[in-house]
Every structure is written in C-alpha cells, then in structure tokens.
Structure 1
Amino acid sequence: MNYVLGLDAGSSIVKAACFDTDGRMVSLSARRTPLDRSAGGRVEADPDLCWRATCAVLREAVERSGVPRDRILGLGISAAMVGLWLLDAEGTPLRPGINWEDSRSQALLDRMANDRPRFMSEIFATSGSVLQQGCTLPLLAMLDREEPAIVARTHAAVSYKDFLRARLTGQIAIDRTEAAVAPGDARSQSASADMRDLFGLSHLAHLFPDPSDSASQAGTITAEAASATGLPKGLPVATGCGDVPATVIGAGGLAPGSATAVLGTTCMLGRVSDAPIFTPPDLGLLFSLPGGMWYRSMVNVAGTLNLDWAMRLLAPDLVAAPDGFARLEEEVAAVPVGARGVSYLPYLSESGIIAPRVAPAARAGFAGLAPSHGRAEMLRAVLEGVAFAIGDLADTLDLPRDAPVTLTGGGANGHLWCDMIATVLDREIAVPEGSEFGARGAAMLAAVMAGAHLDIATASLGLGKLGARHHSPISADIAGWRAARASYTAHRDRLLGL
C-alpha cells in the first residue's frame, strides 16, 4: 500500500495527516498558530511560528503513521486563502503574513468605491466574487501606500500555503484557485491584469508568478526542509490549492450539482458546477476548483467561531470538560425550539457578512433576552442562529432538491446541530466519514500528481465509498421552527436593513 501526506494550514491551526491513496486517514497531528489581532483590524500571522508548527506536525504525522518513508508518494498542501505574504527571492517573508480576516484595507476600498461607483460590480463581473478586505490585491495596494520600502524589496506576493511550499521546496509558485480570487478572472481560472490595473498595481505585476495546476508538481523537499520535518529529501510536493477547494475535494464533492457546506471557523454553503455562475449578481463567492469546475458559494463568514465564543464566555466548565460538547447538546436539547424567545445573529467577524447581503459592518448579537433566560437558552439560540444563517445562504442558491447537502467542518461533529440544519434546509444532511477534509483533499492532489488516480475528479468521487452519517429534518414541532426562524429573520432584517 502507498500513502500520501496532506498539510492543511488554517487561520489558527495547522494540521498534517497521512492517508492511503484511497483516502483513509492513518495518522494526524495538529498545532495551534495564534493570530495577532491588534487594534485597527489587523489580523496577522507570525511566519516563524507557522513554519515551526508545520515542521512539527509533518514530522509527527509520519512518525505516528508507522508508514515506511519509501511508501510515501508525495505531499499536498492547502491553507487559508487570499490574505497576503510578501516573500524575498529566497522565499523568506519580509513581514508578518496577513490573514484573510484583516480589515485594514476597508478605508482604501471605500475611497475607490466613492471615486468609481460601479467599482465593486466591475470586480464581481470578472471574479464572480464579492470583494473582501482581506483579498490579496487590496491588501497589496494598501501596503504599497503604507509600507513602500518593504514592497520595493518584495520578489513575490503569495498566499499562506505558497509561503509554506516555498520553505519546503525552495520554489515559489501559486495555483489557479488562489489566482482567481485575488481577485482574478473566474472564467479562465487565472490571474487578471485588468484587476491588477484596477487597483493601481500594474507596476507590481512581476510579483505574481504564473499560476500552476493544483495537482502539478511544484518541487521536491529540500535537504534543509527534510532535516526540519523528517520528510524524505526529494519527496515530490504538489502545487496544492486553497482550503475551500481542498475541502470540496476531500468531502467527495467534486462533481457538478453536488452541494457542500462548511461549518468550521467559516460558515459557507455552495454547489459545484461545470461552468462559472455569476448569479445572483454582487453576492457571494465563486471559487475555481481543480479539474475545471467551480464552486458557487454563499458565506456567512463566522461559523463555529460563534459557538466557541459563546462557550468560552457562558460555559467555561464545558470547554474544559472532556465530554463538554456532549453535555452542551444535552443541555441545549432540554430547551424548546426557539430558545424561549431568544434569537442570535451569528455575525461574529471583523469583516461582517457577504450573504444574504454584503454588510461589512454587520456584527453578532442576541435579541429577546429577559431576566428569566439563562445560558442554556443563549447557547441554543447560538446553534439555531447559525442554522438559520445557513438557511439564508441556501435561499440564494439553486440547490438540487433530490440530493443531500454534504456538511463538513468541526460543527458537523454535533449531531443535534446537524439535525437543526437539516430541519432548516428541509434536506437530508450527509456528514462524510472522517474529519480532516482539507488535508484529505490536499493529499488527493498529491495522489493524482503521483499517478495513483486518473484525475482529481475521479479521486474525489472515489472517497464516497468511505461512507457517511445521515441526518433527516426533524418532524416534530414544525410550527415552533417556523416561528423561531421568523423571529430570527425579523431581527436580521432590522439589523441589515432588508
């Protein structure tokens, strides 16, 4: 049996896993990589911390697998998308990496939109995505004004995974999934000179490498990286892709018409197509996928972040308990549908939301609180609020009625939460076997690179044979669910001006 490695570097945690070429995970390692969230909307990563964590998890994943190193075919990489990492010619970061949540470019975007009223629509018409403050081009335009000396020393402007790959292989590259959302050109699944010109960055076009296919070989593990990670020197490394495309691949969803939701730090729902979809206009995101497909998605931005925050403040005893999540579900299940009148809007993000409308200033909040309410009602309201937000996303998408929605992310581990989401969507929810879908998707790119699969679509669809857990809509108290969502919707509309 042969094996592949998948590296998945999220915003605040990096994971490495070893899989057989059919997608069965045999080992996993993870390390936290906290972000600097200083005042003013700054959200940045420490490159040295990220690199040390990456080295540690790769070494541990291989050691824990017990797999002979000569049976490992390659490494694939995925990571949090967009943001901005400025590298010199040696691949060394010139400053901290900027995360996609960073909101400091908003003032620049406001000025550009004021000077050019159709600015945002022009970007959407090419990229298929609503521009966010943490996208690569606005961040580079901001730094070009505020840190020109550093930009002048820059050799390449890339994303998180590209920095890690450069340290591993000594080669600087980008892939199509990142280039197309910088913003870029969704139709060609590549970068866009017009988009660079729009941001006044034509003089910096040399900072962007030509994008490569995600399953192509970007390089091999250097002697220095082999010493740091324990990986074999010369191990092939796939170009890789962003974490959203990797998750779609790893969940077995790389097929036209399939619907995949992510309930992780981010909350997202979308469907795969074999042609780019630009409707509804000026709303949501359009991701390019390996294999010549696209993922039209709607994003609430904050997903499990809402529950993590609420539990930290309201239920620290459950956070510390080994069975904390099971006890949370037991406590919440004792509260009636509708949380006895408490509603929660799950907009817990520095960048607001981009569906059901674009609202950078939208923020989370409870409504309907009374002295009789306690933490159980508030925690149930958080779970229901996220489920209703996913319902908002579904309302803007043309999802097939006869197919389940595949649910991934940490939130999919909660059976009650899955039942709630199935009820709100009035669709079956399928939770694929496994948990590390981003790492698995990255590993499948390495498997295709190594010739273990014909192509990435075949590799992704083959993961379906690993099985899934299914959740059906709750048939009890339909009236209660309708009333609860109506209350949520009323509070949402007042906040968003709908």
Structure 2
Amino acid sequence: MRNSMAKYFLGLDAGSTLCKAAVFDLAGRQFSEAKRRTPMSRPHAGWCELDPEICWHAVLEVISEAVDTCGIPPAEIGGIGISAAMVGAWVVDAAGNALRPGINWEDSRSQTILNRMIAADPAVMSKIFQSSGSVLQQGCTLPVLAWLVENEPEVMARAAHVLSYKDFIRLKLTGLAATDRSEASVIPGSARQRQRSAGMITLFGLDDHARLLPPVFDSETTQSGLTAEAAAMTGLAEGLPVAIGAGDVAATVIGAGGLAAGVATAVLGTTCMVGICHDRPVFTPPDLGLLFSLPGDVWYRSMVNVAGTLNLDWAIGALAPDLAGLADRYQQVTALAEAVPIGARDLVYLPYLSESGIIAPVVSLDARAQFAGLTSRHGRPELFRAIFEGVALALRDLFDALDFDGNRVVLTGGGSQSPFWTQMIADVLQRQVVVPEGTQFGARGAALLAATALGHFADIRAASRSVAGGGLTYQPNAEMKEAYDAALRRYRQHRDRLLAGN
C-alpha cells in the first residue's frame, strides 16, 4: 500500500539497550514516542548479545504504541523508516528465524581471530583501514562471522542470512533480506565504493560464506512492505512501505539536520562520538577513528570514545544505589556535581568503561576506566563531578583528533538533555553547542529516509536541511576557560600515563 498524499511517517531506532519509535510529520515534528528496554546479555567475558525474540516483541510494541498515541489515523501514516545499532551479526535461517542470540557491535570475542591475522601480517589492520576508513572493532560483522564459522559450524550450516540489527528487523517486518550502504561499507567494506569489499571478505577467509551477506540498496529506497502478520500486530496496513533505512549513526546525523559538508555532529548517548560531514571519504588521521558512508553521498569522519552516558548510568548503580530507582536520579547526581568546583578538587575520571577499549584519541584495546588522584577527602559529589567532566574532556580529545576549526557543534543523545552537562561541554570546547529540538533523532532520520523514498523530498540532504535549526544554543563562557584548561592538562597527564601502560 502506498499513500502518496500521506504526510506522516514512523521512525524506528533500535539501540543496544533501548528500542524507540516515534511518528513525525514532514516538518520533523514529533507526535508520539514509545520505548522498550532490550536487556543486554554478557554470558562470557567480552560477549555482548541481545535476545532476538525480546527485541522483535519490543519492535512490535513500540510501533503499536507510537501509532496508538500519536493522534493520527493509521491510514495517514505513509511509511516506516528503520535504524538500529550497527554491524554485529544476527544469524537467521531461510524462514527468517534467529538461530542464536544477536551479537552486538560491542562484542569482542573475535579478538583471537584478529590476533592470528596480525601475527601473520602486522600491517593487516592498516590495510583494513585503507579500505573502510575505520579502525576495525572486534564486533564488526566480518570478524564476528569468521568467529561463528570457526566456533559454531552447526549453526552456520543452517544459516541463510547474516544481518545487522536493522536488517533483522526489516526481515521480520517485510520478509526482505537486504542491507544498506552505511552498513555494507563498515563491516569492514569499501568506503570509497560505499559497498562491501570482495577483498575484505577474502581477507577474513569468508569467500565460501559471502552468500550469507544480503544484497545492498540505497537507504532512501523502499523495496518491501509490511507482511500481513506484521501489519496485524502493529495496527498498520499490509504492504505499507518500509524503507531500507540506515545505521543509527547515519540516521542520527540526518535527523539532527547535520547532513551537510562541514557540519560537526556529536552524540552523547550510550556511546560518545564526534564527527564531521564531508563530500568525499576522509582517511586522515590514519589508523584512527571511524568513517561512515552516509546516504546522499556524504561521509561522516568520526572519533569515538565508545562509552558516553554509560559512565553516568554505571556510576549511579555502583556509587549511588540508593538513588538508582528514583525518577529524579539524574537531577540528584547533577546537584551533587554542581556543588563541586571545576576540576573536582583534583580528581580525574577516565571514561573508558567499554570492555572493547577505545579507538580514539588512540587505539587501545586494554584501556579501562579509572579514577586518578582519589583520596579520602573525595566523596560522592567529587566522584560525580569527575565523571561529568571526564566525559566532557574526552569529547575535547575527540575534537582535537579531528582538527575541527569550526565554532558550532550540534549535540544529540540523552546526555544533551542535561543543561549542566551541555554547558560544561560548551565551556570545555569553547564552542557554541546547539541541541536540536526533539529527542528521537535516530527515529526522525529513519522517518526522513522513508519520506524521501516516497518522493516527499528531492533528496535526503534536502530532507535533513528541512529539520536543521531551532532548539537550544549554549554559548561558551570565556571565564571558565582557564579552569577547564587546567582540568584538561591534569586529565591528559593521567590519560597518557594509563595508555603508556597499555
């Protein structure tokens, strides 16, 4: 079913731990929002998995709730756009049934295979970077697939497709096994060709399994529609167009209005990321950071700290369990931090909380979070102040690695909803920070891809421009510069000492 007059579109954004859906109009205004937790499983050290059945039911529930609460007749919703956490591996049989838990991008089980590749060719990681433009993370699809072939041959013998999370969702909604260029180029693939790379597939010894990787389409196209079963479970019409969609990074940049060369977009969500859009693939600095091939022939050169708001959530659970269940827990820990001066009384926090280490400002698989300078005079207020500052200073590290000379940054993600944290970031960067209107930028970007696919915008760049502007602007306070520069020097001293030991 295609309703060319429809002016409303549903966007789905399935993150690593939270599945979200929202309904938008063509101006990007949000009419509803639904969320469901999707708990992460870590059954072994370095493993990071999601239960496909739980995730699928979460998708159905958030779509149904977003449709039911938006105040718009379902018949006026013209299509669905989808986005989700990128790479990893979701293995399904010919009927589309998952054969094992979905492997998340943060998973590091493939490191044993990478170690063997590096031993055979010490330059192999640089060769991969020269193709994909990205430092290879252990949770990328090709190394994970190589691990599955080696360690779970009985599962792979039954496999029909190996998909990313987004593409698993589309398969369940429509029956179509496919992927988009943002995924294909980073598994690792070819950033220049915006496509999978036969050379990379061969490098990982996967020529006999290349058939498991689905065909590649442009994100802003529709190749399938809702099945009768999915329509019945969501309250939408059978055949409703579902766009190919894009990975969560691409969708967030689009939804934040950042799909234009020279625009810097930062994400302070579970992951902490900073990037700049370009009209060509950028491979400098070499062997550092990530390069995403976005729809509209745009490339997003980014630096990633891996752990962002995850640091604060961990700290609340570990350091303030009495606050963990409270609705105002973030306000309470913010009040604690606000009472402490800049520099957290010489306490420094390095926000390297991910089990997979960091890939910027340097690559270090063994980098782990820590407090430095901790003494008996430090209590919860200083600990939380140091955590807020540690993430903000890590963002500064990422910007410096990109050599960004602009004076304006678009900030998205859950952390951007904290005025205290956002002003701190503006002061640390000494740049204007703009928080766009809205909260679900990944879902909005996905919805704009669907609207573009159905002809409502000339192209996806125009769609992204249409939602740029507005929101809140935080101006840097020059009076804070000296204090934050001193905090940055202490931070980098401890950072360098930690990384030198790795």
TM-score for both structures, normalised by structure 1: 0.98
- The aligned counterpart of 1:160 is 165
- The aligned counterpart of 2:178 is 173
Task: State how far apart, in whole Å, the 2-side matches of 1:362 and 1:245 are.
Answer: 27
Unaligned runs of 5+ in 1: none
Selected match of 1:191 from 186, 196, 204: 196
- Alpha-carbon deviation of 1:452? 1.4
Selected match of 1:410 from 409, 414, 421: 414
Selected match of 1:429 from 425, 428, 433: 433
Selected match of 1:439 from 439, 443, 449: 443
Task: State how far apart, in whole Å, the 2-side matches of 1:177 and 1:187 are.
Answer: 12
- The aligned counterpart of 2:258 is 253
Selected match of 2:144 from 139, 143, 162: 139
Task: State how far apart, in whole Å, the 1-side matches of 2:17 and 2:382 are.
Answer: 29
Task: State how far apart, in whole Å, the 2-side matches of 1:481 and 1:223 are.
Answer: 57
Cα displacement string for residues 304-346 of structure 1 (whole angstroms, at most 9, x for unaligned residues): 0001111112223443333332232222111010000110000
1:82-481 superposed matches below 5 A: 82-402=87-407, 404-465=408-469, 467-481=470-484
Task: State how far apart, in whole Å, the 2-side matches of 1:218 and 1:396 are.
Answer: 39
- Alpha-carbon deviation of 1:38? 1.6
**Contact between 1:257 and 1:400, CA under 8 Å: does it hold in 2?**
no
Counterpart code for 2:372: A
**Contact between 2:336 and 2:380, CA under 8 Å: does it hold in 1?**
no
Task: State how far apart, in whole Å, the 1-side matches of 2:451 and 2:320 are.
Answer: 42
Counterpart code for 2:262: G
Task: State how far apart, in whole Å, the 1-side matches of 2:254 and 2:150 are.
Answer: 38
Cα displacement string for residues 400-425 of structure 1 (whole angstroms, at most 9, x for unaligned residues): 324x1000000001111111111121
- SS class of match (2:223): strand
- The aligned counterpart of 1:77 is 82
- Alpha-carbon deviation of 1:174? 0.6
Counterpart code for 1:478: K
- SS class of match (2:229): helix
- Alpha-carbon deviation of 1:477? 4.2
Task: State how far apart, in whole Å, the 1-side matches of 2:23 and 2:345 are.
Answer: 46
- Alpha-carbon deviation of 1:480? 2.1
Task: State how far apart, in whole Å, the 1-side matches of 2:168 and 2:474 are.
Answer: 39
Identity %: 57
Task: State how far apart, in whole Å, the 1-side matches of 2:286 and 2:302 are.
Answer: 12
Task: State how far apart, in whole Å, the 1-side matches of 2:443 and 2:132 are.
Answer: 26
**Contact between 2:392 and 2:424, CA under 8 Å: does it hold in 1?**
yes
**Contact between 1:17 and 1:29, CA under 8 Å: does it hold in 2?**
yes
Counterpart code for 1:249: I
- The aligned counterpart of 2:487 is 484
Task: State how far apart, in whole Å, the 2-side matches of 1:87 and 1:175 are.
Answer: 18
- Alpha-carbon deviation of 1:454? 1.3
Counterpart code for 1:429: V
- Alpha-carbon deviation of 1:279? 0.2
Task: State how far apart, in whole Å, the 1-side matches of 2:405 and 2:478 are.
Answer: 21
- The aligned counterpart of 2:3 is none
- Alpha-carbon deviation of 1:230? 1.6
Aligned residue-pair number: 496
- SS class of match (1:288): strand
Q: Evaluate the alpha carbon distance shift between residue 89 and residue 485 of structure 1 in structure 2; reply closer, same or farther with a 3 A threshold.
A: same
Task: State how far apart, in whole Å, the 1-side matches of 2:47 and 2:374 are.
Answer: 32
Task: State how far apart, in whole Å, the 1-side matches of 2:250 and 2:30 are.
Answer: 19
Task: State how far apart, in whole Å, the 1-side matches of 2:331 and 2:428 are.
Answer: 22
